[in-house]
Amino acid sequence: MTDRPRTILVTGAASGIGAACCRALAGPGTAILVHTRKNAAGADAVAEAVRAAGGVAEVMLGDIADPALPAALVAQAQARFGGLDVVVANAGFADRTPVAALTDAGFAQSMDTVLWAFLRLARAALPVLAQGRGEGQTPRLVAISSFVAHVFRTDATLFPATAAAKAGVEALVRALAVEAAASGTTVNAVAPGFTQKDASGHSAMTPAQWDAVRARIPLGRLGTPGDVAQAVAFLASPGAAYITGQVLHVNGGLV
């Protein structure tokens, strides 16, 4: 058993679900590498929240679609904290462009930012996760997927490029769960439903569209970043050590 902190990497962590995951996972004995593309102020605020909870935090900026960045994030966690125990692959964006209007470049942007980035992050992280911290410390890889890979109806807002990318992430989660099982690493995904944005965050829909969405959710409200973060925290907890290759839906009954 090593005495280094339990080290966690969260991508896209300056706001929303990523920031909530950092707060939910923070505590004494934890170190979190807070990644953001360019929102340094938001990431710094999240890092301060981690420190206030008794943990250690560092911020790293960069575009997750850059092929070199995922490996650089893993290397930074190793260099700064001595290893890596939990990865939360959250960075991404939502694209509502209809297929008829979707350009090759637009589709590629979703693939690069969501699917390719997850593949590269997993390839870089899994060998390091497998080194572990000792007996009883199960390494974890958790991807953030989305309900948009599961809901296709005439009364639902469609996100074709995002859906394709997230569906690919879920397929990789299942394949990686099998490949990583020998090392004891678990690989799972959390698929949020419609989730509230931070006040400063970008919204892919208008207020009227959000009202229509609420009317279709059985529990009658949008999810919160904290709702999703609690599911991630569970999958990263000792209680989830025998769960792998799964997609946990957090959507108020939407799916």
pLDDT digits (tens, 9 = 90+) for 230-242: 999 999 999 999 9
Q: How many angstroms separate the CA atoms of 187 and 235, rounded?
A: 9
Q: How many angstroms separate the CA atoms of 22 and 40, rounded?
A: 15
Element (H, E) at 200: none
| pTM beyond cutoff 0.85 | yes
Task: Please provide the average confidence, as pLDDT, over all residues in the chain.
Answer: 94
Element (H, E) at 8: strand 6-10
Under 8 Å between Cβ of 253 and 217: yes
Angle 153-217-12 (CA atoms, 0-180°, nearest 5)? 85
Q: Tell me: the pLDDT tens digits for 120-155?
A: 999 999 999 999 765 567 899 999 999 999 999 888
Q: Tell me: the pLDDT tens digits for 139-197?
A: 999 999 999 999 998 888 899 999 999 999 999 999 999 999 999 999 999 999 999 87
Q: Tell me: the pLDDT tens digits for 12-60?
A: 999 999 999 999 999 999 999 999 999 999 999 999 999 999 999 999 9
**Cβ neighbour number for residue 183 with a 10 Å cutoff:** 15
Q: How many angstroms separate the CA atoms of 197 and 193, rounded?
A: 12
Sequence-ordered alpha helix ranges (H) in the chain: 16-25, 40-52, 69-81, 104-110, 117-129, 160-180, 207-216, 225-235
Residue 58 — φ and ψ, nearest 5°?
A: -140, 150
pLDDT for 72 equals 98
Q: Tell me: the pLDDT tens digits for 84-93?
A: 999 999 999 9
Among 3.40.1440.60, 3.30.450.70, 3.40.50.12780, 3.40.50.720, what is the CATH number of 6-250? 3.40.50.720
Q: Where are the domains of the chain?
A: 6-250
> Which long-range contacts link 202-207 to residues 24+ away (Cβ below 8 Å)?
204/94, 204/95, 204/96, 204/159, 205/96, 205/157
